[in-house]
């Protein structure tokens, strides 16, 4: 039995070795990837905005009259992060389309970042393929109008051109950058535990996407995408601005 104990200790040691923590200590603003704004009294779905898939920022001004008002969306395809004056209020999906806006009465900037990267979050019963937000949005029963819609060029924007100069305490969605060193290059899993929803690039090459509601918590980084020595990681994150580290793992990570 001795050899088995030795083996597991060995495995533990190598796991510790590879559970390297990556610190993402630079931030780039999302405004760099804004595509031309579309203004409309009514909401336009992603289809109407000619956005096949990706992210759209729906933005407008709201006036709250009480400290707790119900924000209700008619359709959410597929996922939305709701920000009021640059602070995350919560997230919505097509199964959960109502939330409370808690503010002092007043005028605020409402920003709803909507994701549809083809991730399937609804059943076969839904047979229309409208994406984004459509139908109406109400605040305490009153229709919200006059929307600015900004498609975000997240996936295709060359990440090397991003300017990382935003203060890390800024709580808006954005891009985060860090570096890590590898002594040897082999298949590695990026453990995204703690992050909310977003996408990752390694050494300028698109790696993949993640979402905290999935059981799968890691993305395989193929050997050919890694370099011996310094490697760069860029993460686009929609809703967890406080998260600053990721880990590398030798094995896939599941919840």
Partner 1 sequence: MNNQLRHLTHIFLILLVAQVGALKAQNVVDLSGTWKFQTDVMDFRRGSLSPRYNHELQETIQLPGITDDYQIGYKVPYKYIDRLTRKYEYMGPAWYQRDIEIPAAWKGKKIFMYFERTHWLSSIYVDTKEVSQIDYISVPHNHDLTEFVKPGKTHRITVCIDNRYQYKTHKWNHAHTEFTQINWNGILGEMKLMAIDPVFVEDLQVYPNIANNSIKVRLQVNNDTKKQVKGKANFTITGPNYNLKSEIAVVSNDSVTFVESTIPLGKNVKLWDEFNPNLYQITAQLNTSDGKTNYQHAKSDTFGMREVKQGKSHVLLNNRPIHLRGNVENAVFPKTGYAPVDDASWERIMLLMKDYGLNHLRFHSWCPPKAAFRMADKHGIYFEVEMPMWGKDAEPDEDRYNFFRREIKAILKEYGNHPSFVLYCNGNEITGNFDFIEELTAEGRKLDSRHLFSGSTARTRVKSDQYYVSQQTNKGPVKVYEGLPNTDWDRSTESDVDVPVISHESGQRCVYPNFEEIKKYANSPVEARNFEVFKDLLQKNGMLDQANDFFRASGALTVLEYKAVIEALLRSSKSAGFQLLSINDFPGQGYAPVGILDPFWDSKGLVTPEKFKEFCGPTVALLRYEKSAYFNNETFTGKAEVYNYSNAVLKNAKLKWWLTDETGKVLQKGNLKTQTIGNDGVFPVGEFAIPLKGVANKQKLTVHVSVNDQIKNSWDIWVYPPHQNLMQSTNQVLYTTVYDDAAKKQLAQGKTVVLYPSPNQVKGRKSVFHNHFWNPIMFAWPPMTIGSLIHHKQGMFNDFSTSYHTDWQWWDILNNAKVIEMQNAPEKLRPFIQIIDSYDNNQKLGIGFEAKMNGGKLLVLALDTEKDMDKRPATQQLLYSIDNYVKSNRFAPEVQVEESFIQSFLTK
Residues lying near partner 1 in the complex (CB under 8 A) are found at 118-120, 122-125, 127-129, 189, 206-210, 214-216, 218-220, 222, 252, 254
- 83 or 211: whose CB is closer to partner 1? 211
Estimate the share of the chain in helix, then strand, then coil, as percent rounded to the nearest 5.
10, 50, 40
d(CA 119, CA 57): 18
- 59 or 218: whose CB is closer to partner 1? 218
- 139 or 253: whose CB is closer to partner 1? 253
Kindly list the distances between the CA atom of residue 170 and the CA atoms of 75, 85, 166, 187, in Å, as whole numbers in the listed order.
29, 11, 7, 34
Angle CA(18)–CA(23)–CA(28) in degrees, nearest 5?
140
The two tokens of residue 80 are: 């939305």
d(CA 198, CA 47): 21
The two tokens of residue 233 are: 């990681």
- 194 or 208: whose CB is closer to partner 1? 208
């Amino acid at each position: 039995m001795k050899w088995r104990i030795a083996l597991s200790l060995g495995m533990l040691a190598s796991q510790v070795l590879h559970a390297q923590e990556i610190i993402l200590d630079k931030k780039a603003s999302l405004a760099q990837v804004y595509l031309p704004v579309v203004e409309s009294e009514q909401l336009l779905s992603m289809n109407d905005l000619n956005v096949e898939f990706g992210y759209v920022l729906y933005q407008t001004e709201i006036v709250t009259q009480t400290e707790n008002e119900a924000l209700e969306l008619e359709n959410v395809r597929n996922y939305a992060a709701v920000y009021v004056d640059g602070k995350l209020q919560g997230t919505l999906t097509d199964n959960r389309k109502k939330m409370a806006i808690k503010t002092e009465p007043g005028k605020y900037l409402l920003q709803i970042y909507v994701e549809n990267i083809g991730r399937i979050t609804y059943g076969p019963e839904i047979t229309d393929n409208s994406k984004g937000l459509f139908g109406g949005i109400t605040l305490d029963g009153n229709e919200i109008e006059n929307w600015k819609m900004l498609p975000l060029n997240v996936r295709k924007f060359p990440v090397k051109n991003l300017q990382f100069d935003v203060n890390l305490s800024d709580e808006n969605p954005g891009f985060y950058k860090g570096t890590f060193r590898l002594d040897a290059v082999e298949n590695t899993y990026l453990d995204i535990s703690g992050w909310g929803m977003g996408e990752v690039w390694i050494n300028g090459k698109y790696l993949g996407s993640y979402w905290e509601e999935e059981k799968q918590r890691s993305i395989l980084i193929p050997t050919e995408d890694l370099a011996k020595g310094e490697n760069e990681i860029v993460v686009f994150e929609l809703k967890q601005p406080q998260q600053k580290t990721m880990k590398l793992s030798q094995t896939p990570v599941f919840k």
